[in-house]
Structure 1
């Protein structure tokens, strides 16, 4: 039988409820692995060990009286240090909040606890939760368990790294421009960017206004799609049994777009996508190459203008106005993200009327994608043009097949335009590069069909037979 730190959340939940193993044993095994390997990975930045032990003991005591708290009874989980946690330090990746302790849990954290989960600790993220790497000004750099010299991605990089390292069976992250999807892809885990459903609460300091009201979503992360189903049931408030069988249903109609924004993916990613398509066809799916269902450049522009306007609205007063606004976007942000800064700076210049016009464009874009799903069940795209890359300064050039390209180019065209419509996106681990780095794929579906997307993802996952074991640290 595999080590408890290699078991899925579904398996752990089943074994705890069957009393084959105690919640305390499960917790202590994960704490031991964190103690041994977290110094190398730096994924978990704040542990809540003593309260977790008390809750694990309470979970075992409850079971002795046939009391079950919920589908996650006794299962540990970690959350990105962007989510407020009652009585536990939450920095939001901002230096002046390094000692801040919230009074209340973010709604997502509260739901996981209410489902019986045990909060184990908080995970690393980049400054202000805005980068595709994971360099934190307080906690330092998180590393990819599959290649410690490389990034686990961002901004939910610590969450993905903790899963890939076997520190936790479940994680919680958030996504604006790939913050769930890129780390899942880089670390070989699964994530769900849910259907966008209004402003995201619980991920900002209490004193700050909620100016970012679109595109940002919170979502579950796990090593398997079945674990995502279990966690999503808890987050969405739906009832789901621990063991949800892979559904027998009509053949899936799948559209595949191998390239977005004119940015080709590398040879390894092309191979993984080809192999996945062949596996799904063998499993009876109808798979066809199709162009993107929308104008990628227009969707990119829509995303950037909304982000630029809403982020600027939340800045301190001097940075909301000229000349400091231009210095921020055209100076600092351009040095970090290159061409992306110009697109977002255009949003920072919008007046209220223009901003509402962009929101209308977003709504039209969402309707266009819904119409696309009249003919297709799923839409598949790469997550990025490359697997995880070696650590570097934010803004430094990356490489695609040995060609130097701007920092944002291999990632932004695959993640920013696809976030704009607000549709659910599953990141599915699908294969590995020639040197063993994980490669994932994005699986898109119609708005509001998150549960159906996860069920379909189980079918895709079963056809691929991807090994979801944690990285062999120290091997």
Structure 2
């Protein structure tokens, strides 16, 4: 593998500014790796090759004049094909927009470019950005670089796969029910689901109303927490966020909840969590097991009712009303996500007054979680009850320790309730299953403390001795013929 495609974004940024390597060389190395291995992984779906080359040449010329555009000067990045990109195809994973080219960038893309980043291309995602796998109606299936017969997760599945494959050092994804966290966990990369802060713009076709006003957030993805800090500084518009020092380990108070929603994790995940607790204690952290700081069922229902109401409001007129509304939720969605559809169907039928009552419940949940952090600095939970699973039809049963379980059961209770309060969540690579599949952990913190969470995450990452090297395809299962 080219050294440049295994480097962290922070290292690339430093080496480019020091003129040890050119932005053109960095871009070329990533394009060559994509050309060689993307047919196997199918993580990138649209490349920005010529504009990116021109931008890289301009970055090198600027450095020759001692001009630095920002902390990402000359560093390539990719974005989930849910974010609008000016002059570059954006499909939103909807067949009707298979050839759509927006006129403007999403705000998050604008910020990454303003920080000196170079847009390399777009990454794969499932239909309508709604699944924990990554089967796209236009581009086909993305595969997990660590096990090609397994999913990279969803909906930011191509995002995580591109990072894990060494196609990009930085990625932009989004999350409403695990779409950043599950792919990061499945692919062994890091992500930040930031503090929820108003409606997420730039992720919908311009002709569609922005009915999803809560819970959905955009967030950075990278192979290391240091790189998340670098990207989050650009996305949040504050260079100071990249400079928050890591706290001393012996000052960190960590609460751990090994199980959520009555769904136990598999033995591999239990082992990784135990090992992480041991490593953090050895590093001086104070770690104790505690129950979840809120009623998980109440948080789950809050998430589902908000999602059900807001998603239904964005459907075409005939589907917003019975009987067709019932067919959507109790027919199609139930076939995909089982009992999760029933929870969301209750939201689809809410009156406006009832919807606002649910938003009040959401605010109370957020306050409850913040009160929990009066006594704890961090709260750690699993991301899912199992590592990456093999490709299958959406809705098909999964297995935990040889027991068949409904499709959503190993994932939804760990991701939907935890998204409802709106606090920041770091997904941290923590270990591997016995057959080499990555396993991550969720690290939660108080609302508005994203920069501090990332700083603490660097301390936890160091204790775990995480190896951020991209996947070596010679060691993965499957072949190009399997993709």
Tell me how far 1:473 sits from its aligned partner.
1.3
- 1:16 and 1:410, CA in 2 relative to 1: closer, same or farther beyond 3 A? same
Q: Which runs of 5+ in 2 are unaligned?
A: 476-483
| Alpha-carbon separation, structure 2, partners of 1:304 and 1:191 | 23
Aligned to 1:453: 453
Find out whether 1:41 has 2:3 as its counterpart: no
Is 1:411 aligned to 2:423, yes or no? no
1:370 aligned residue = 370
1:107 corresponds to: 107
DSSP-derived class of the 1:361 partner: helix
Q: Deviations over 1:75-105 (max 9, x none)?
A: 0000000000000000000000001000000
State the alpha-carbon separation in 2 of the partners of residues 63 and 289 from structure 1.
51
Tell whether the 8 Å contact from 1:230 to 1:240 is kept in structure 2 after alignment. no
Partner of 2:478: none
Give the structure 1 partner of residue 292 of structure 2.
292
In structure 2, the partner of 1:422 is 422
Give the aligned partner of residue 93 of structure 1.
93
Provide the TM-score with structure 2 as the length reference: 0.97
1:288, distance to aligned residue in structure 2 (A): 0.3
Change (3 A) 1:371 1:241: closer
2:305 counterpart residue number: 305
Matches within 5 A, 1:31-180: 31-180=31-180
Task: Say whether the 8 Å CA contact 1:190–1:223 is kept in structure 2.
Answer: yes
Distance 1:321 1:33, change over 3 A: same
Aligned pair in 2 of structure 1 residues 164, 242: CA closer, same or farther (>3 Å)? same
2:180 and 2:149 map into 1 onto residues whose CA distance is 21
> How many angstroms apart in 2 are the aligned matches of 1:161 and 1:257?
28
Tell me the equivalent position of 2:269: 269
Does the CA contact (< 8 Å) of 2:249 and 2:459 recur in 1?
A: no
Q: Cα 1:180–1:331, aligned 2, differ >3 Å: closer, same or farther?
A: same
- Cα displacement string for residues 433-468 of structure 1 (whole angstroms, at most 9, x for unaligned residues): 000000000000000000000000000000000111
Structure 1 residue aligned with 2:393: 393
Partner deviation per Cα, 1:385-434 (whole Å, 9 max, x = no partner): 00000000000000000100000000000000000000000000000000
CA distance in 1, matches of 2:2, 2:268: 30
Shift of 1:281: 0.3
Asked whether 1:189 is paired with 2:189, we answer: yes
For residues 291-318 of structure 1, the C-alpha deviation after alignment (integer angstroms, 9 at most, x for no partner) is: 0000000000000000000000000000
Pairs within 5 Å for 1:232-271: 232-240=232-240, 246-248=246-248, 251-271=251-271
What count of residue pairs does the alignment treat as equivalent? 475
Deviation at 1:474, TM superposition (A): 2.6
Cα distance between partner residues in 2 of 1:235 and 1:242:
11
Q: Does the Cα contact within 8 Å between 2:244 and 2:452 map onto a contact in 1? A: no
CA shift in 2, pair 1:18/1:337, >3 Å:
same
Uncovered stretches (5+) of structure 1, i.e. residues with no partner: none
- TM-score (ref. length: structure 1): 0.99
- Cross-structure match for 1:13: 13
In 1, distance between residues paired with 2:337 and 2:248?
45
Residue in 2 that maps onto 1:335:
335
Deviations 1:160-205 (A, max 9, x none): 0000000000000000000000000000000000000000000000
SS in 2 for 1:440: strand
Q: 1:282 matched to which residue of 2?
A: 282
Output the CA distance in 1 between the equivalents of 2:248 and 2:428.
20
Residue 248 of structure 1 and its aligned partner are, at CA, apart by: 3.9
- Matched-pair contact (CA < 8 Å) for 1:71–1:242: no
Alignment partner, residue 479 of structure 2: none
Shift of 1:241: 8.9
Q: Distance in 2 between matches of 1:283 and 1:248?
A: 9
Residue deviations 1:121-163 (CA, integer Å, cap 9, x gap): 0000000000000000000000000000000000000000000
Query: What is the rounded CA distance, in whole Å, between the counterparts of 1:36 and 1:247 in structure 2?
Result: 41
1:46–1:89 Cα contact (<8 Å) kept = yes
RMSD (Å), alpha carbons: 1.2
Pairing 1:319–2:322 present = no
CA change 1:76–1:293 in 2 (3 A) is same
Contact 2:144-2:151 within 8 A present in 1 as well? yes
Q: Identify the residue that residue 472 of structure 1 maps to in structure 2.
A: 472
Correspondence for 1:199: 199
